[in-house]
Structure 1
Amino acid sequence: GLSDAQVWAANGSNEVMMQILQAFGGPGRTALSFAPTYSMYPEYARNTHTRWVQGVRREDFTVDPQHARELIAAEQPDVVFLTSPNNPTGTALDPALITEMLNLTTGIVVVDEAYAEFRRDEPPTALALLAEHPRLIVTRTMSKAFALAGARIGYAAAHEAVIDALRIVRLPYHLSAVTQATGLAALQHRDELLAKVDDLRVERDQLASWLSARGYRVADSDANFVFFGHFPDRHKVWQGLLDAGVLIRETGPDGWLRVSVGTPAEMQAFRTALQEVDPR
């Protein structure tokens, strides 16, 4: 288990990411990740004057170990961001790749597990690597599986010395008493708040199969959304769905769309609208 000294809470995992780059990034330092991935990482780098380097993923949105080795050797990053499951594709990382990245770099490795509760096969979380890797930071959020996006509660788990470094750069009194009370109440009612996760997994996998059967390319997802394509004009499809009362995300590489998984009724509304907007 983790001690209190190994956990750091903040106003969403976004604030945790900013604090990581305030502590370990900055002028003359480099942060690195593999696109497509979470669109805010380069914004955090910009805001902290950290040089940003972006590798690329394979066509199936997995990370090529050889490409990662070459990029890390060439750039010698101070911070590496690895997202598992990835946003916006939903792709989970092989735990062996995370271990290799930790062994390749002398910098901080951040494993962003914002969507970890939705993983299909429960692969080992990167938390299991903390004891052997003092430069590892694992970040989580209560915005997804706990459905508490408005509460703004995120947290990091890391070595005590890393947590101390985050404390140095945080604003005074950064986490309100109300936010702390909300997080504690959520943990006390964890079973109730996470009760829908299994249902969402089932809906996600059914949706992915339905989209594949209709001829779409579908990224292998371990998150609470499905990334699918490929569209000659994705904005036209997005707008058509919006006009039909269905809002999804126009994000990631051109030609792809991301649909979050909801209730069976919501997913049926999406299927109906998509068939009308993009008949196949």
Structure 2
Amino acid sequence: MTTPDAPALPLRPELADEVPYGAPQLDVPVLLNVNENPYPPSDEVVATIAAHVADAARRLNRYPDRDFPALRADLADYLALESGVHLGAEQIWAANGSNEVMLHLLQAFGGPGRTALSFAPTYSMYPEYARDTHTRWVVGRRAEDFTVDPEHAVATIEAERPSVVLLASPNNPTGTALPQATVEAVLEAAARIPAVVVVDEAYAEFRRAGTPSALELLDRHPHLAVTRTMSKAFAAAGLRLGYLAASGALVDALRVVRLPYHLSAVTQATARAALAHRDSLLAQVADLRAQRDDLVAWLRQQVVAGRPLRVADTDANFVLFGTFADRHAVWQGLLDRGVLIRETGPEGWLRVSVGTPAETAAFKDALTDVIVEQEQ
């Protein structure tokens, strides 16, 4: 405990008024605020993970393989199945969640005198990666429908000359997927700087049929990195395993900045065990997509203050909806009824994750009650 006369800590000035990132973690019956997969791993998956971890535990006196080639090969094999893009293990990198992957990217390609660029509204951690690596942070704007206009994107890149461009597709918190033509326009503009383009595909497995992955562009764009995670579709948020696909040269740059042995033997063993059960772990994705589309249709039928709710088109496992004159009152009304969603995005909007049918039904009932209460 700090005493009143203790000298101040030599904290970096730009951190003096900052608070730690994080969504509320509250003990309520229905948790729909952090885009988790609502279905836990099966007993069979748990048993396989336990066996793999037990095997790893017998060698915990030794450091793990710092370059984890077996896990990288497993991830490359999965991406070939999921997207049809065949990559070598040397083109894969992994870390403790896609957050650490992003930090590696900013450590390698950002820094003092350099700029990172994205298009808002987007994932609220991006500016924190920039801050933590002393990288200048700049945002362009998304259109009213949350898409990125290619001409605006190219003009912003040419004006700001970033070293890193961050594109989330599907975007968080809006759920918006980027057309391949937009990504290619950004890539071509970035190549003239040059800049690394990061397409964050944390929610890629939930994209609608016909929506392409930026993985398909890797063979033509060596300055492209496509990030993924096992947290969402694989129902493994507690695992903390994120990864990316890129050229071998880009991956080698990340190996320079990573901490020694950053990926524990237990994490590697758990991830490989989960990947061995990819079919069963991903079996709920199609169901979650269908529930998402039904939820979007239902929300668009709700009327607030004499007009239907606005609902963003989404390729993720969440839905952004609004707008409300007092969104916090709506958020609080839902919480009072045992349903936790996220107060995020542009003013007036709220975001809800897709849950089980029972959780979604509870959300619908609670929101209906809140709307009726506020209309009275």
Deviation, 1:278, is: 1.3
Equivalent of 1:157 in 225, 232, 245: 245
1:25 partner amino acid: G
Residues 46-85 of structure 1 aligned to structure 2 (within 5 Å): 46-85=131-170
CA distance in 1, matches of 2:219, 2:111: 27
Query: Is 1:207 matched with 2:292?
Result: no
RCO greater where, 1 or 2, for CA within 8 Å and sep 6 or more? 2
1:54 partner amino acid: V
2:364 partner amino acid: R
3-state SS in 2 of match to 1:62: coil
Residues 1-280 of structure 1 aligned to structure 2 (within 5 Å): 1-105=86-190, 106-214=194-302, 215-279=308-372
Q: Deviations over 1:2-56 (max 9, x none)?
A: 1011000100000000000000000000000000000000000000000000111
Detail structure 1 runs of 4+ shifted over 6 Å in the superposition.
Answer: none
CA distance in 2, matches of 1:123, 1:268: 28
| Structure-1 residue corresponding to 2:26 | none
What's the % identity of the aligned pairs?
70
| Structure-1 residue corresponding to 2:49 | none
Which residues of structure 2 form unaligned runs of 5+? 1-85, 303-307
3-state SS in 2 of match to 1:151: coil
3-state SS in 2 of match to 1:149: coil
Q: Deviations over 1:118-159 (max 9, x none)?
A: 001242211111111000000000001011111100001100
Q: Deviations over 1:195-217 (max 9, x none)?
A: 10011011100000011111110
3-state SS in 2 of match to 1:82: strand
CA distance in 2, matches of 1:62, 1:140: 21
Maintained 8 Å contact 2:205/2:285: yes
Which residues of structure 1 form unaligned runs of 5+? none
Deviation, 1:232, is: 0.4
Cα RMSD for the two superposed structures? 0.8
CA distance in 1, matches of 2:319, 2:209: 16
TM-score, normalised with respect to structure 1: 0.99
CA distance in 1, matches of 2:152, 2:252: 33
| Structure-1 residue corresponding to 2:20 | none
CA distance in 1, matches of 2:168, 2:237: 19
Q: Deviations over 1:230-267 (max 9, x none)?
A: 00000000000000000000011110000000111111
3-state SS in 2 of match to 1:250: coil
CA distance in 1, matches of 2:245, 2:150: 25
Maintained 8 Å contact 2:149/2:182: no
3-state SS in 2 of match to 1:61: coil
CA distance in 2, matches of 1:86, 1:248: 18
CA distance in 1, matches of 2:139, 2:216: 27
Q: Deviations over 1:47-99 (max 9, x none)?
A: 00000001111111011112112111100110000100000000000011111
CA distance in 2, matches of 1:120, 1:264: 20
3-state SS in 2 of match to 1:8: strand
Could you say which structure has the larger radius of gyration?
2
Q: Which stretch of the first structure deviates more once superposed, 65-74 or 105-114?
A: 65-74
Q: Which stretch of the first structure deviates more once superposed, 209-218 or 116-125?
A: 116-125
